[in-house]
Amino acid sequence: MGDRINAGPLMMRQAMAAAAGVMTGILVAVPAGLPQIATAQLAFLSGLMAVVAVTDILTFRVPDVLVVATALSGIGFAFGAGDASAIVGAILRMALIGIAIMILREAYYRWRGFDGLGLGDVKLIASAGAWIDTAGIVHAVLLAALAALAVVAMIAAVRGWNGMTRLPFAAFLAPSITMTWLVAAL
C-alpha cells in the first residue's frame, strides 16, 4: 500500500515521538521512585514504542529495525543485569510468543480469508517478550485490543464501520507494552 507520507516528514515525526517518549518515561519514572536503571529502561522503551506507534499510524507498518531494536534492547538490559537465565528466558519467550501469534494469525486468515493482524504486529508482540513476561504479553495485547475496540466504537458512532477498515494496531500495542512493563517494574 505504500507510505502515506514521504520519508522526510516521517523521520521528523519519528524523532519528535522518540523525544516525547523518552521525556514521558522520565517524567513517570522519577516521581514513581524507580531506580536509575529502571528509569533508563523506561525512558528508552517509551521512546522506542512512541516511534513504533507514530510510524504505524502514518504508514501502517512496523519496520523491522524497530522490532529488532525492541528485542535487542530488552536482551541487552537483561545482559547488563548479569542474569544469564533472564537472557535465555527472553529469547525462548520471544520465539514461543512469535510462534503462538503466527498460529493465531494464520487461523484468522483461514477463517475470514484476510489478515487480521499484520506481520509487523506479530513481530512486535514477539519482540516485547524480551521486555515483559508471558502473562505481561497477554495483558499488553488485551489492553491494546480494548483500546482499539474503543476507537472502533467511536469511529463507528461518528461515521460507521464496515468491518474492513484497517486499523494501525501497533499504535495501540506499543503503549500497552510500555505500560505493562512499567506496572511490572513498580
**Domain locations along the chain:** 7-185
Question: Is the pLDDT reported for residue 147 higher than 50?
Answer: yes
The cell 516485547 sits on which residue? 128
Confidence at 133, pLDDT banded by 50, 70, 90: very high
Say whether pLDDT at 119 is over 80: yes
* CA separation for the pair 78, 122 (Å, rounded): 22
Report residue 122's pLDDT band, with 50, 70 and 90 as the boundaries: very high
Banded pLDDT at 79 (limits 50, 70, 90)? confident
For cell 525512558, the residue is 43
* pLDDT class of 162 with cuts at 50, 70, 90: confident
Residue type for position 11:
M
Using an 8 Å Cβ cutoff, are 55 and 10 in contact? Answer: yes
Is the pLDDT at 4 greater than 80? The verdict is: no
Residues 127, 128, 132, 138, CA torsion sign: negative
How does residue 3 score in pLDDT terms, banded at 50, 70 and 90? Answer: very low
Residue pair 97/126 in contact (Cβ under 8 Å)? The answer is yes
160 pLDDT tier (thresholds 50, 70, 90): confident
**pTM greater than 0.75 (yes/no):** yes
